[in-house]
Chains A and B, each alone.
Chain A
């Protein structure tokens, strides 16, 4: 009877340790996923989105001269070790659409097309804070 009680209490201990592990690993996973999801600011127009990116660049690289162009900035961002991966093809596509709108009199790109640009802006700011 005594042996049965010991077995029972051991199982409770093991199960509670397993449950604790699950909770701990779950929290770790949740933290990791949360760190990978970049909260994006809500900006409506393409001009606002690119103004946000410009400000991010200026905050992250205070040494960039006034005469920079977008392709120069994007190329500099590519050489920067950012916290999260960026889809450069989408960035390039968004930049082409924006330039066609700004200089080619095309229609304004939809705000959803600019999410990757916003993500880049946020990541750059994060990178700038860490390295400052």
Chain B
């Protein structure tokens, strides 16, 4: 079977531009967020998109998945949802007189978990096993999820009504948290102009197929990482654990994901090695949602947001040069 990339003649380093061009047919001014989603996909991680309602989080996720020729499911999370609604469960078949496993929407390559923090914690926790081990276990029977598997979740900020904060263990499963800000005035005026006519995500066509993705995953796995870069990553992790302003530092899993996403960024930049700038570029998105600033320091006004603390640490920790 010929791969989509080969037929369109797209080089891997041009993949980013190709996808951005395609998605821009329906979503305007979200190139950097889209780039981060792509890094996450190639690093085989999950992404959490956070922002106020109505700033095209869901539209971007839908358009992104349209670019990929993969099986896609969307679940709208609500407070009355049950784990069964996502992972599936055993249903009695009247004909065969046996219980059969009916797959839930999680059995897809990309699951869009819309407004994930509107669901109760037990439903959020139902995703833990699938996100980490790429499998689901129902009544002692374990079933593998299709590969690749990626969860793209959207959430509203925590100060909104009717939301349950995601537990730390769930947040740690997300490779990146991608914040969505309001668009600038020029971008917003373009959005308004675009919405004067009918907008349809169907105009976005598939640019990457499953075979291409497997090839790119193999490339990402071959990206070289020197010992000096590993030391730099370790020092960064330690700096989050030893800083008095931080109550909960980054876990070793966070640092592994930092390295994976840096490798993915290197491939998209046309390189076969990780440079310090790859680490510095992805670190704020990989680390900021995993650390908790110290409450006492926060109350005394000694510490800003997790984002600002991570940026300060990146300024202090010396990369190899």
Contacts and interface: CB of A to CB of B under 8 A. Distances in A.
Chain A complexes with chain B: yes
Contacts of B217: none
Contact of A66 (B271, B273, B318, B320): B318
A66 B316 contact: yes
B273 A65 contact: no
Interface stretch (B50-58, B84-92, B274-282): B274-282
A98 to B, nearest CB: 10
A70 B316 contact: no
A54 B321 contact: yes
Interface of A: 50, 54, 65-72, 99-100, 102-105
Contact of A67 (B228, B229, B273, B319): B319
B273 A105 contact: yes
Nearest to B314: A67
A50 B272 contact: no
A78 to B, nearest CB: 16
B273 A70 contact: no
B275 A103 contact: yes
Residue of A65, A67, A71, A100 with most partner-chain B CB within 10 A: A67
A50 B38 CA distance: 33
B253 interface: no
B316 A65 contact: yes
Contact of A71 (B224, B228, B277, B317): B277
Nearest to B320: A102
Contacts of A65: 315-316
B224 A67 contact: no
B185 interface: no
Contact of B277 (A54, A69, A102): A69
Contacts of B280: 67, 69
B321 A50 contact: yes
Residue of A54, A65, A99, A104 with most partner-chain B CB within 10 A: A104
Interface residues of B, number: 21
A103 B317 contact: no
29 contacts: A50-B321, A65-B316, A66-B316, A66-B317, A66-B318, A67-B280, A67-B313, A67-B316, A67-B317, A69-B275, A69-B280, A69-B321, A70-B276, A70-B321, A71-B277, A72-B277, A99-B273, A100-B271, A100-B273, A102-B226, A102-B320, A103-B224, A103-B273, A103-B274, A104-B224, A104-B271, A104-B273, A105-B226, A105-B273
Given A66-B316, A105-B226, 5 more contacts: A66-B315, A67-B316, A70-B321, A72-B277, A105-B273
Contacts of A68: 319
Contacts of A71: 277
Given A69-B277, A71-B277, A103 B318 contact: no
A67 B276 CA distance: 10
A103 B321 contact: no
Q: Would you list the 7 A-B pairs with minimal beta carbon distance, nearest first?
A: A104-B273, A65-B315, A103-B273, A67-B315, A66-B318, A69-B277, A69-B276
A32 B313 CA distance: 46
B271 to A, nearest CB: 7
A111 to B, nearest CB: 18
Interface string B221-248: 0001010110000000000000000000
A105 B224 contact: yes
Contacts of A70: 276-277, 321
A70 B229 CA distance: 14
Residue of A70, A100, A102, A103 with most partner-chain B CB within 10 A: A103
B165 to A, nearest CB: 31
Nearest to A47: B321
Contacts of B319: 67-69
A94 B293 CA distance: 41
A103 B229 contact: yes
A70 B278 CA distance: 12
A125 B321 CA distance: 19
A93 to B, nearest CB: 14
A67 B313 CA distance: 8
A72 B278 CA distance: 12
